[in-house]
Structure 1
Amino acid sequence: MVRPPALNFDINFVDISDTMLRRAIQIWHQKLYSERHLSPYTLVAYVHDLNAFLYFISVHQGDKPRLKDLADLKSGDFRAWLAYRTRKGMARSSTARAVSVVRGFFRFLDHEGLAHNVSISSVISPKKFYSTPKALAISEMKDLLERAGEPIMSKSPKWVYIRDVAVFSLLYGGGLRISEALNLNFNEFPLVPSPSGNNIIIKGKGDKQRLVPILPAVINAITDYIESCPYKLSEKSPLFIGVRGGRLNARVLQYRLQALRGYLGLPKEVTPHSLRHSFATHLLGAGGDLRTIQELLGHASLSSTQLYTDVDTERLMDVYGQAHPRASIKKAKI
């Protein structure tokens, strides 16, 4: 899988006029991408958090922030920022991430010799509440996959609904993150069944790789989509195409699932990521072992040299065959 290009740094950071601060932000942004291998989605979130912090400082101090001003910020300034976020009703998890981003930016400034702030270490991140991920019941999951192929609250072409079924089937059948599924190219997905099972190599967070077995039911759904897609897919084409012919945007699927959620009476917490949680929950509930599920979700790193030596594909497929609700379909339609 080709890593997407770095985001263009075309962001209005509270109309920063200080050249040194703007340049520092640009370097920080590029280092996050090139050294920490953050996804474009995570980069956008980090940039948003830093921008919001700098905006608060500009209002709090009554002037546009400068690099030397950041070095002079006191504990009271940081406390005022946290209090502001609390008054605005921002979630603890959101504030915890923002604190982490701002701390990281100040560490970067210190490491590069650009600014040293002694007060940043006094900033205490709020404790996060961890909630159990929302997983659908098997019956709910089956209803969702069936209804996804119907024109519910939408007038899109028929092939779009077939595509949505294919994407949702891959998220649930393979435990993929939505970004992982949408970043796949046509030549990376196996459409010819193999006697030993079909697998794809997924590059997840931090460019960590893992081997994911693909169920026949998923191959069926994706084959149906490819046959119905009006766009000709070449080797380097995105696997999942939007109505205008480009790579499918995650937001489209989020809106689609929102409509399905209302139609099926599912909780508002159900998102595309819930399909990944359902994958893990259903495997675990049916006897899948934690270590295998951990490997399938990509929570444990596998280097490229271990992909074909350390991963027991037959064992992974056995877990699928015995535990996954959609593993009962034996032949893929080509």
Structure 2
Amino acid sequence: MSLPVKPSLADLIESFFRRRLIAQRNSSPNTVAAYRDAMKLLLIFVSERQGKAPSDLEVEDLDRDVVLDFLDYLEEVRGNSVSTRNARMTAIRSFFHHVAMTDPPSIGIAKRVIDIPNKRTTSSVANYLSKDELKVLLDAPDRTTPLGRRDHCLILFLGRTGARVSECCDVNAADLHLEWPQQVLLRGKGKKERAVPLSEDTAQQLKALLEERGLASDSDVGVFVNARGKRLTRHGVTHILKRAHTTAAKTDTDLATKRISPHSLRHTTAMHLLKSGVDLTTIQSWLGHASVNTTHHYAEADLEMKQRALDRCSDPETPLVMYQPTDQLLAFLATLCGVDRRITL
């Protein structure tokens, strides 16, 4: 009786993406793209180190020490943050769980890699804009042009809804309900859907944008597109915000010192809701956080709220209120998912 053929590393990677992520787990395109990028970087790193083509690598070439060296390379050479390092490790760990299930002789190697812990990160204060700063940023685009009106609407949408950049890029005209009650259907992590209210000004700007583009309200066409009519990507949205930030910083010196990104506008939404008295559980649902502990980070960041709490504590009459490419394997990875995720090698 012949023994089963041991799968190659290339076989394992292909089955991981095709069977495990796409067929079995129905992972989102963004998840597939993130895992693809992590594996591509790892393969190139090990290939150069071992002097082998990526397609010729074996599971044994990706042992614990090599993976640890790769993680250090991400931080020290590529200049990645600890969060990015941990995100890459999450993808690698998921792959080696697949290896352990698919290739029993490699369980030992897989377990040693799986047991690599995430690196602890230092907690940073959420970066967000005040209402006045957000207004200055909204005034930056030239609204006499179609692209300027799109940019203004995009910034308003991100600053009012707290949508993740991927959620924003995925919004279709059919996801918008612009009559009372105005709301947008967002598709978050794990393909979870949630309805988020739209402010009156956001709904009016979105309605004007759809009318200008001639989009029907039931159309499955992206709301935010580039000059060629293609959906904006994460990079495109970031570029638009940087351009608006550069213009706004000329009139607001305080804004010039702020880091502006899609995520900082998400923080901005959360902080404005918090300061308006919205409870953390509602904000958790609004932002699509899996745990209220994530949302609690915003309460920790709000020094004004802490000062008001201190003032109330000092007043004995006020009750205290508590709040809680050429290589075949690399070529295969390049075919996965249509998400635009550029890697600089």
TM-score norm. by structure 1 comes to 0.73
Q: How does 1:31-70 map to 2 (within 5 A)?
A: 31-65=20-54, 69-70=58-59
How far did 1:289 drift? 0.7
What is the Cα deviation at residue 86 of structure 1?
Answer: 4.4
Structure 2 contact 159–268 (Cα < 8 Å) conserved: yes
- The aligned residue for residue 23 of structure 1 is 11
Q: Which amino acid aligns with 1:135?
A: Y
Counterpart among 148, 151, 155 of residue 161 in structure 1: 148
Q: Which deviates further from its counterpart, 55-64 or 77-86?
A: 77-86
* Cα distance change on mapping 1:108 and 1:264 into 2, 3 Å: same
**Given the superposition, is the C-alpha separation of residues 127 and 146 from structure 1 closer, same or farther in structure 2, using an over 3 Å criterion?**
same
Distance 2:143 2:163 in 1: 23
- CA change 1:293–1:149 in 2 (3 A) is farther
- Code of the aligned partner of 2:22: Y
Q: Tell me how far apart the structure 2 counterparts of residues 49 and 269 of structure 1 sit (CA, whole Å).
A: 26
Structure 2 counterparts to residues 271-310 of structure 1, below 5 A: 271-300=261-290
Q: Distance in 1 between matches of 2:150 and 2:63?
A: 53
Q: Residues 212-227 of structure 1 correspond to what in structure 2 (within 5 A)?
A: 212-227=196-211
Per-residue deviation at 1:278? 0.5
Deviation at 1:164? 1.7
Query: Of 115, 127, 138, which aligns to 2:131?
Result: 138
The total of aligned residue pairs comes to 274
Mapped partners of 1:204, 1:74: distance in 2 = 34
C-alpha spacing 1:64/1:170, structure 2 compared with 1 (3 Å): same
Are the aligned partners of 1:92 and 1:126 in contact in 2 as well (CA < 8 Å)? yes
Contact 2:182–2:203 (CA<8 Å) still a contact in 1? Answer: no
Amino acid at match of 1:61: Q
Quote how far apart the aligned CAs of 1:106 are.
Answer: 1.3
What is the CA–CA distance in structure 2 between the aligned matches of 1:112 and 1:67, rounded to whole Å? Answer: 19
Q: Is the 8 A contact 2:185 2:194 kept in 1?
A: yes
Note the residue ranges of structure 2 that are not aligned, 5 or more in a row: 1-5, 250-254, 292-345
1:205-284 superposed matches below 5 A = 205-229=189-213, 231-233=214-216, 235-265=219-249, 266=255, 267=257, 269-284=259-274
Residue 45 of structure 1, CA deviation = 2.3
Measure how far apart 1:268 and its partner are: 5.6
> Which is richer in helix?
2
The code of the aligned residue for 2:202 comes to: V
Partner of 2:312: none
SS of alignment partner, residue 163 of structure 2? coil
Range 88-97 or range 269-278, more displaced: 88-97
Q: What corresponds to 1:170 in structure 2?
A: 157
The two structures, once aligned, show a CA RMSD in angstroms of: 2.7
Deviations 1:151-206 (A, max 9, x none): 7xxxxxx1121112222222122221122122122122123x22xx2233322110
What is the aligned-residue identity percentage? 28
Q: Which one-letter code corresponds to 2:241 in the other structure? A: L
Q: Contact 1:38/1:205 (CA < 8 Å) preserved in 2?
A: no
Q: How has the CA–CA distance of structure 1 residues 200 and 90 changed in structure 2, closer, same or farther, with 3 Å as cutoff?
A: closer
